[in-house]
């Protein structure tokens, strides 16, 4: 089957997106993690732009611009500022070691491709596989959230999860209605601010950003 060039390009971007999530899963340094997150945002903006161009959906240009602004510039800048202020650069401790996490990640990718298979078959060639990739990156981000100990890494994982969802929204469907996208962007921005407030509160209270201190509330 002949696939138009633009779609091949979107598919390429999708696979790079998946690759970046794997890279994030394996990354130990918080600083590199944030940079990877910014790259992920850039890929997302680019793929949104390509979809906007090929389908001539004008509102997608706005959402591409919004992604570029929010996820490549504002959020990474905020996170960089935060870790400078809190003075944490190093050591992302993982609860599971990296190779095990990667293996679990591969299993998740297979699972999500299987789950999305019936849907991919329905879409007319355009978005084949993209829903699977989006679902895989959502689940991989979830895995990252579960296996990391530091509050900052959990937040980066949360934001990367949001990116995976956004990719599903723009590439697999041709973008959600603009009101919804704006609402989602606002929520993400506010959430990041609240995370920032939290970091300071947590540090003030526990003298560290290690969430293992926060396992006191349990049912005995």
Partner 1 sequence: MIDLQLMALLGIPLLGGMLLALFGARPWAAELNSLMSGCTFIASVVLTLRVIDAGPQTAFNEQFFIDQFNVFLVALTAFVAFTTSLFSRPYMRIEQHHGKLSTSMLHLYYSMYQLFTFTMLVALTTNNMGIIWVAMEAATLTTVLLVSLYRTPASLEAAWKYFILCGVGIALALFGTILLYFAAERVLGEGGTALLWTHLNQVKGQLEPTVLKLAFVFLLVGYGTKIGLVPLHSWLPDAHAEGPTPVSAVLSGLLLNVALCAVMRSKVLVDGSLGTHFAGNLMMGFGLLSVVVAALFLSRQKDIKRMFAYSSIEHMGLITFAFGMGGPVATFAAMLHMTMHSLTKSAIFYAVGHAVQKCGTQQMEHIRGLMQVSPTVGWGLALGTFAILGMPPFGVFASEFLIITTAMHEYPWTTPILLAALGIAFAAVFGKVQPMVFGETTVKPLPHPPALIPVFLHLVLVLILGLYMPPYLANWYRQAAALLG
Measured between its terminal Cα atoms, the distance across the chain in Å is 60
Q: Tell me how far, at minimum, the Cβ of 211 lies from partner 1, in Å.
A: 7
| Contact status: 208 vs partner 1 (CB under 8 A) | no
Quick one: which segment of 25-33, 81-89, 100-108, 171-179 binds partner 1 (CB under 8 A)?
171-179
Give the x/- contact pattern for partner 1 in 39-78, rule: CB under 8 A.
------------------x---------------------
Region from 8-16, 36-44, 70-78, 154-162 binding partner 1, contact rule CB under 8 A: 154-162
Residues 51 and 60 sit within 8 Å (Cβ to Cβ): yes
CA atoms within 13 A on the CB side of 92: 27
Query: What are the residues whose beta carbons fall under 8 Å from the beta carbon of 79, sequence distance 6 or more?
Result: 34, 37, 152, 155, 156, 192
Q: List contacts with partner 1 (CB under 8 A).
A: 57, 115, 118-119, 122-123, 131, 134-135, 138, 142, 145, 151, 154, 158, 161-162, 165, 168-169, 172-180, 183-184, 186-187, 190-191, 194-195, 197-198, 201-202, 205-206, 211, 213-217, 219-220
């Amino acid at each position: 089957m002949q696939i138009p060039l633009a779609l091949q390009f979107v598919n390429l971007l999708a696979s790079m997106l998946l690759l970046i999530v794997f890279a994030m899963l394996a990354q130990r340094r918080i600083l590199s993690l944030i940079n990877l997150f910014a790259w992920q945002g850039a890929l997302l903006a680019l793929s949104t732009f390509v979809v906007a161009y090929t389908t001539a959906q004008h509102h997608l240009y706005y959402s591409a611009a919004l992604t570029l602004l929010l996820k490549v510039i504002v959020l990474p800048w905020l996170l960089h500022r935060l870790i400078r202020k809190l003075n944490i650069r190093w050591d992302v401790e993982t609860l599971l070691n990296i190779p095990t996490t990667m293996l679990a990640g591969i299993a998740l990718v297979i699972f999500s491709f299987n789950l999305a298979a019936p849907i991919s078959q329905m879409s007319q060639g355009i978005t084949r596989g993209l829903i699977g990739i989006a679902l895989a990156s959502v689940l991989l981000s979830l895995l990252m959230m579960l296996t990391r100990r530091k509050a900052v890494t959990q937040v980066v994982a949360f934001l990367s999860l949001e990116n995976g969802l956004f990719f599903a929204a723009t590439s697999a469907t041709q973008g959600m209605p603009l009101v919804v996208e704006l609402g989602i962007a606002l929520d993400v921005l506010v959430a990041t601010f609240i995370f920032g407030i939290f970091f300071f509160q947590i540090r003030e209270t526990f003298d560290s950003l290690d969430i293992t201190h926060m396992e006191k509330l349990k049912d005995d």
